Amino acid sequence: MESRVALVTGAAGGIGAAVARALGGLGTVVALVDRDGPGLAKVAAGLTAGGARAVAITADVAAPGEAERVVAEAEDALGPLDHLVNAAGVLRMGGAWELDDRQWAESLEANATGVFTMSRAAARGMVTRSSGSIVTVASNAAGTARAGMAAYAASKAAAVAFTRCLGLELAGHGVRCNVVAPGSTDTPMLRSMWKDATGPRTTLDGDPDAFRVGIPLRRIADPGDVADAVVFLLSDRARHITMQTLTVDGGATLGV
């Protein structure tokens, strides 16, 4: 991974930041993208202080035209992209029949449209170079029904289906496309779902009233656990893996 160029969206915090740090630690040159400018600058400063080469690009990847600008700016600063990690995402909670139009649209824009536009923009150059690797960070909710998470689950399922189709189309051009599907991970997004101090315990134990099992491994994932899976799929160690989903959820979906 040393000296390769990667672009990571959602890099201001959570899983995206962990991926950026993991890549930087391996000598990868990293373009960090997020709409949270101050948070992005903090992560970038930490990487450069540790000896990594990184550039921060503030952008909302779901906004029209932003993906093309981001890829062009990253490649102008760092060189042709070898890797893309789609880690940007939002969570809009609510019953499927109670969601308003804005909650639904925001979920699709960030979690699906952003994956589409960023992947499209990055793939064009990868195809001409006949090499590259794209990893989309989705969720185990993309394949398992979750009460109160219809918009999130649907948008993540769309991102998974798109990434697999992209992988099929780009395989002949030497570009691999895979998915990492985390379960409950210790990020601000997960903590926003906890109503009180019992949140972590409920996550581990599950909630029969919501038809949700707990986590068999009895731990909530660290963002680094997910980052390790992303880095593996980007790397040459996964050179014969494409169109696959690697679930990192401690067994919460029972291997289904």
Domains in the chain: ranges and CATH: 5-245 (3.40.50.720)
Q: Is 90 exceeded by the pLDDT of residue 197?
A: no
Residue 27's pLDDT is 97
Q: What is the pLDDT of residues 83-93, one digit of tens each?
A: 999 999 999 99
Mean residue pLDDT across the chain: 96
Residue 253 has pLDDT above 90, yes or no: yes
Task: Spell out the residues 6+ positions from residue 254 whose beta carbon is closer than 8 angstroms to its own.
Answer: 213, 216
pLDDT of residue 134 exceeding 90: yes
Q: Which residues pair with 181 in a beta bridge?
A: 247
- Residue 194's pLDDT is what? 83
Question: Contact at 8 Å (CB) between 42 and 18?
Answer: no
Q: Is residue 19 within 8 Å of 85, Cβ to Cβ?
A: yes
How are beta strands 5-9 and 83-86 bridged, if at all?
parallel
Residue 29 bears catalytic tag: no
* Strands ordered across the beta sheet of 29-34: 54-58, 29-34, 5-9, 83-86, 132-137, 175-182, 245-248
Token readout for 126 is: 């990868």
| Model pLDDT for residues 217-244, shown as the tens digit of each residue | 999 999 999 999 999 999 999 999 999 9
- Kindly name the residue from 70, 135, 150, 152 that is annotated as catalytic: 152
- For residues 26 and 232, the answer to whether their CB atoms sit within 8 Å is no
Q: For the whole prediction, is pTM greater than 0.85?
A: yes
Distance, in Å, from the CA atom of 80 to the CA atom of 64, rounded to the nearest integer, reads 22
Contact present, 35 and 10 (Cβ < 8 Å): no
> In the chain, where do the E strands start and end?
5-9, 29-34, 54-58, 83-86, 132-137, 175-182, 206-207, 212-213, 245-248
* 210 band by pLDDT with thresholds 50, 70 and 90: confident
pLDDT digits (tens, 9 = 90+) for 148-194: 999 999 999 999 999 999 999 999 999 999 999 999 999 988 888 88
